[in-house]
Amino acid sequence: MRNPTVRLRRTAAVFVIGLVAALIAIAGRMTLAPARAADSNALWRVVHDLCVTDMKLRREPAPCLAVNLQGGYAILKDLRGATQILLVPTVRLAGIESPRLLEPASPNYFDDAWNSRGFFERRTGVAVPRDDIALAINSRYARTQRQLHIHIDCVRQDVRDALEAHEHAIGYRWADFPGGIGGHPYKAIRVMGQELGSRDPFRLLAQGNPNARGDMGAETLVVVGETFAGGQPGFVVLSDGADLLRVDAASGEDLLDHSCAVLRTPAATGAAR
């Protein structure tokens, strides 16, 4: 049974954070490109109507960087930042709240995003250590588009430093991350291996956190590449839920750095961690 206090807070967040997000979106229209700010279906139309159609007819993914018809996703350069790219499913999925993401046969879009990081590295011009790469999906309250998309870019320097400092506290079950991240009380879980494989962050969250499963649309997920003690490769998966009392719209994308400052630090120029 879900905690009634959490349930009440989430219910309040649905209304108030939605209102706040709407006000932010209205203000944002003063600076964002009109199509991006005003049309929440713009991303879907680019991928479905242009990229997929061009791939089927001409074997060219334009204006996307790539279209994987068999895998069911496209890779598209985001308007923001020099390096940020997006993975966008080629089937209609509103966002993290889509029930189809939890079905056994659903693709692991986070694994596909991780395996598409080569498109991101081409834009950086250098091989990027796994520890400096992050994938993120925002909650319904922190997104502008009504089509699921995973952001792929550099992790923020302070986020990377926090994960390294508290590596010992990150286990194989969801637990509060010590001190939170970026002022928000994220939860974290450790996943080992070079690739995510069958470990799907959507399912990990829904299966390991009943409160999150009850309202997936209020959740954000961030996956950061990690090299654990002893040189063992893996990932840290972070989650946060929208919450009125914390004035938190659950924007995991905020943990990414679209200027990729982390690549200009001494640690990033040495051997891959």
What are 104-129's pLDDT values in tens digits? 999 999 999 999 999 999 999 999 99
Tokens of 252: 């995991």
Asked if residue 94 lies in contact with residue 53, where contact means CB atoms within 8 angstroms, the answer is no
Mean pLDDT over all residues of the chain?
87
For a pLDDT cut of 70, what percent of the chain falls above it? 83
User: pTM value?
Assistant: 0.85
By the 8 A CB rule, do 272 and 261 touch? no
pLDDT in tens, 156-169: 999 999 999 999 99
pLDDT for 244 equals: 80
pLDDT of the residue at 149: 98
pLDDT higher than 90, residue 267: no
Quick one: average pLDDT of 179-197? 96
What number does CATH give the domain 4-268? 3.30.428.30
User: C-alpha dihedral over 108, 114, 117, 120, to 10 degrees?
Assistant: 90
Distances (CA, A) of 104 to 91, 191, 199, 202: 16, 19, 12, 11
Task: Please say if the pLDDT value at position 83 is more than 90.
Answer: yes
